[in-house]
Structure 1
Amino acid sequence: MRGHIFEPGAYEAGSLAGCYWAQTAPDCPDDGPVSGAAKVEFAVIGAGFTGLSAALRLAQGGADVAVLDMHRPGWGASGRNGGFCCVGGASATSGQIRARYGATEAERFHATERAAINHVSTQIERLGLEVDRHSRGELQLAHSPKAFAEMTRDAPDLAKRHGVEASLIAPAELAERGLGAAGMHGALHLDLGFALNPRKLALGLAGAVRAAGGRIHGDSAVLEITQADGYHVLRTTQGEIRAKHLVIATNGYSSDNVPGWLRWRYLPLQSSVLVTRPLSDAEIAAQGWSSDLMAYDSRHLLHYFRLMPDRRMLFGMRGATRWTPNALETHRRETRAHFDAMFPAWRDVEAPHFWSGLLCFSREMVPFVGEMGAGSGVHGAFAYHGNGVAMANWCGDQLARRLLGQASDLPQFFSRTPKRFEMGPWRRAALPLALVRYRVLDRL
């Protein structure tokens, strides 16, 4: 589609090939592609966590809502991420948020991080979803002695900030805790969050939207948005929908021209994941990683990983900047090399599943939730910086509350119009330079 800034392959249905989650849950029924002309009160573009959570709240509130996606529900980042429901959503640090927006807003943001996790947990329970949930909290592993010293310094503030236990694990204790990963120098366990199968969550939300009376139109890419007679007119390949209110929930799969307000205000970045075959008890013992905690390391270009309930190991990392067959193959080899370095006992374990997806940054490195242009009637939410399982669900729900005239609990700075990236249509060209910088920092 005109306006996408990655290679076309990133947006094709086949980009989901190799994704382990796709074999765990079949596509859910939907209402088919948009056909002919129709009118609706609310149209939502994007059938991922943000769009589905917004649509669910709207439908449950009695609104007439239709969700459109260029492929199927859960096809994008929501159905192919690492499945970490944890604190996060901003790449800006707590100190940066405090300095920019004030102490009260920083505290509201941290409350939002916790509320987002609780919201997903409540969704799962209320809807009766089976999402392969596991892991009590999250674990950050120090990739250097300096990083562990920083964890030790920050642990009391982190515990106070979130009101939960933040436990340090000394380097000598890692092995006895079943946290045997090469090159690690201690860890910090935060008793907040959990892991899950993201596709099962996304498809469960999609089913709930339809059960509440909403419609979901897969294979309905929106090619153009115009205005006519007080309606937003969404043109697809096979028809059009006219909507009184419009919600944009496309995140890393956004386009610079749908709507034009988004132009240069978002930046996608690739993240890739491999999943091994099921590991035997002997293989798990040989490596010494038996914990089911969702984990990540302290690098800027972090690795994230977890031993799943079916005893497969999931391992993800960032660093690719092109979506071509050769580039993807190169990044697959790089990801495997990083996996082998961290878990050398599993060097010969097959990893039949490998895939990539697009996460999303804003210029200020914080999420956006609000109106896309004063008085436009177009609202949206995006930019979760690689931590969207909790935050995207929460933001979609909170946005819908606002549209229904209900109170919301979002920090005020979420509604600030994001700045445009300086390099405009060429902003992606800056990614390789940024990655080089982060790789250097990770070695210091």
Structure 2
Amino acid sequence: MYAPTLYDRTRPIGSFWETTVEPGGWSALESHGALSSGENRPCDVAIIGGGITGLTAALHLARAGIEVCVLEAGTPAWGASGRNGGFCCVGATWLSQSALVKQFGMAEVGRFFQQQREGVALVQQLANEEGFEIDRQGEGELEVAHRADRWRSLETGYEFFTKIAGYPCQLWSPQELAERAYHSPEAHGGLHVGVGFGLNPLKYSRGLAIALTQRGGILYAHSPVQHWEQDGNLHRLHTPKGTLRARRVIIATNGYTPDDLHPAVSGSLLPAISNIITTRPLTAAELAAQGWKTEIPVYDTRRLLFYFRLLKDGRFLFGSRGGTWGDDSEADRYRQWMTRRLGEMFPAWREVEISHYWSGLLCGSRPLVPQIGQLPDDPTVFYALAYHGNGVATATWSGRAIAHLLTEKLTPSDLATPFRQPLRRFPLPHLRPWYVRGMFGLYGLQDRL
């Protein structure tokens, strides 16, 4: 859908997260390269995609003694899993809260958000059980009114999260926001939702990968699926060097799903670009100049929202919507725009050096909710996709859910109805880039009104 540079696995990502892990991959993963030339390996379950969804699903299957192999086109967590902003939180839909309730009913929407809350807890649980560090920061998540007239949306969110989702929440006046978190010309009160935290997404994802290999799972990096065929009751997944034969397959490729991977996913997903910059580490005096005193992850009330958080070493992470083409010249323009907007929102940091800038693809679906299930015409193929920019916790929960569906520990009815919407192609799928451009244009207009 976008410029080829966004899909080039040999191109440096340039994220700050890469500086926090061992260069070139961790030693426990070094022996897990591509399939050998001419190799024709059998396994029980093949998972396409080595991000949070695929790794979590594989880990739970390996724990259950099932022979599982993961095929990753790049290195583990090369996509959104290892380059997102590290917001372990809820959301996972582009439907408004009122639209969710209208379409699915209060009870199912409540279940939807309770299961996402389980996903937040599961992230920490897996890190504890498998013994790896995720650099957890802050408690909960903070939504900030970017204009005074957006206070009402915070009140609406408070009513929704307390009454329907059952979350602990607090409304913070502009003065309370300044006292507890920060001050800014674009901060006019906040809604603190007591579910979620910040983390290092690459440490988390790589931790899952190492745990998988230690549990006996097989991880093949640099192994994109180039051709998929069925031979009786077996799936043959052909990579550049070798072939994997599996009785069951899980699709866990999210925003980097090739349209030609399988007819069921062709044209059914809507990737969108998101960008992140980080500053150099800020001094205590610089933080005080902006009144910054929190590690809680923050986002604002815009439709095309900004999201930001203070990292462990004092850097400030600042994320936003990306472009709609994905080429280098557009990326350069967005870096300049984001640097300018950072200075406008946080004037005390207007001249602070930007240390890193990177981009990645998040993923939406036609029904605007995550999608977990089995193909109706082939129950040996499972999928878990489309987290709408909130994938750390939801992908973790979805990975476990799809593993439990495969092993029949769960039935589809155990999943909240929003998770169970079938895959649906977009009309005229080749026009999806223009759908994104139209969506961004509309949302930008709504943000200015």
- If the length of structure 2 is used for normalisation, what is the TM-score? 0.95
Indicate yes or no: 2:48 matched with 1:58. Answer: no
In structure 2, the residue matched to 1:34 is 35
Indicate yes or no: 2:425 matched with 1:424. Answer: no
In structure 2, the residue matched to 1:364 is 367
- Pair 1:424–1:156, CA change in 2 (3 A): closer
Counterpart selection for 2:310 from 294, 307, 310 = 307
In structure 2, the residue matched to 1:240 is 243
Counterpart selection for 1:397 from 390, 397, 400 = 400
In structure 1, the residue matched to 2:15 is 19
Matches within 5 A, 1:43-122: 43-122=46-125
Q: How far 1:212 sits from its partner (Å)?
A: 0.9
Q: Deviations over 1:242-278 (max 9, x none)?
A: 1111011000000111012111110100001011111
Q: How far 1:327 sits from its partner (Å)?
A: 1.1
Matched length: 440
Kept in 2, the 8 Å contact 1:131–1:201? The answer is: yes
- Pair 1:59–1:335, CA change in 2 (3 A): same
In structure 1, the residue matched to 2:136 is 133
Counterpart selection for 1:378 from 369, 374, 381 = 381
In structure 1, the residue matched to 2:2 is 6
Matches within 5 A, 1:284-295: 284-295=287-298
Q: How far 1:308 sits from its partner (Å)?
A: 1.1
Paired letter, 1:344: P
Kept in 2, the 8 Å contact 1:44–1:246? The answer is: yes
In structure 1, the residue matched to 2:268 is 265
Q: How far 1:15 sits from its partner (Å)?
A: 4.6
Kept in 2, the 8 Å contact 1:290–1:307? The answer is: no
Rounded Cα–Cα distance in structure 2 between residues aligned with 1:359 and 1:136 = 24
Rounded Cα–Cα distance in structure 2 between residues aligned with 1:383 and 1:355 = 21
Q: Deviations over 1:358-399 (max 9, x none)?
A: 000001100100113422521111000000000001001100
Rounded Cα–Cα distance in structure 1 between residues aligned with 2:48 and 2:156 = 44
Secondary structure of 1:53 counterpart: helix
Secondary structure of 2:280 counterpart: coil
Kept in 2, the 8 Å contact 1:9–1:15? The answer is: yes
In structure 2, the residue matched to 1:282 is 285
Rounded Cα–Cα distance in structure 2 between residues aligned with 1:319 and 1:74 = 20
Rounded Cα–Cα distance in structure 1 between residues aligned with 2:232 and 2:166 = 51
In terms of mean alpha carbon deviation, does 352-361 or 414-423 score higher?
414-423
Indicate yes or no: 2:253 matched with 1:250. Answer: yes
Rounded Cα–Cα distance in structure 1 between residues aligned with 2:423 and 2:34 = 32
Rounded Cα–Cα distance in structure 2 between residues aligned with 1:373 and 1:428 = 28
In terms of mean alpha carbon deviation, does 394-403 or 105-114 score higher?
105-114
Q: How far 1:14 sits from its partner (Å)?
A: 4.3
Rounded Cα–Cα distance in structure 2 between residues aligned with 1:148 and 1:17 = 37
Secondary structure of 2:244 counterpart: strand
Q: How far 1:438 sits from its partner (Å)?
A: 0.8
Rounded Cα–Cα distance in structure 2 between residues aligned with 1:333 and 1:234 = 42
Q: How far 1:292 sits from its partner (Å)?
A: 1.0
Rounded Cα–Cα distance in structure 2 between residues aligned with 1:376 and 1:15 = 37
Rounded Cα–Cα distance in structure 2 between residues aligned with 1:206 and 1:419 = 31
In structure 1, the residue matched to 2:216 is 213
Rounded Cα–Cα distance in structure 1 between residues aligned with 2:78 and 2:151 = 37
Kept in 2, the 8 Å contact 1:92–1:365? The answer is: yes
Secondary structure of 1:246 counterpart: strand
Alignment gaps of 5+ in structure 1: none
Rounded Cα–Cα distance in structure 1 between residues aligned with 2:157 and 2:275 = 29
- CA-atom RMSD, angstroms? 1.4
Rounded Cα–Cα distance in structure 2 between residues aligned with 1:325 and 1:211 = 39
Secondary structure of 2:264 counterpart: helix
Q: How far 1:219 sits from its partner (Å)?
A: 0.5
Rounded Cα–Cα distance in structure 1 between residues aligned with 2:221 and 2:423 = 29
Counterpart selection for 1:203 from 203, 206, 222 = 206
Secondary structure of 2:102 counterpart: helix
Q: How far 1:322 sits from its partner (Å)?
A: 1.4
Rounded Cα–Cα distance in structure 1 between residues aligned with 2:263 and 2:239 = 16
Q: How far 1:97 sits from its partner (Å)?
A: 2.2
Counterpart selection for 2:442 from 412, 416, 437 = 437
In structure 1, the residue matched to 2:233 is 230
Rounded Cα–Cα distance in structure 1 between residues aligned with 2:418 and 2:199 = 29
Secondary structure of 1:386 counterpart: coil
In structure 2, the residue matched to 1:190 is 193
Q: How far 1:158 sits from its partner (Å)?
A: 1.7
In terms of mean alpha carbon deviation, does 323-332 or 42-51 score higher?
323-332
Q: Deviations over 1:408-442 (max 9, x none)?
A: 54213423313211231221122222211111100
Paired letter, 2:69: A
Rounded Cα–Cα distance in structure 1 between residues aligned with 2:156 and 2:218 = 50
In structure 2, the residue matched to 1:124 is 127
Alignment gaps of 5+ in structure 2: none
Paired letter, 1:264: G
Q: Deviations over 1:320-369 (max 9, x none)?
A: 11111111111111111211111111111111100000000001100100
Q: How far 1:237 sits from its partner (Å)?
A: 0.5
- Pair 1:346–1:407, CA change in 2 (3 A): same
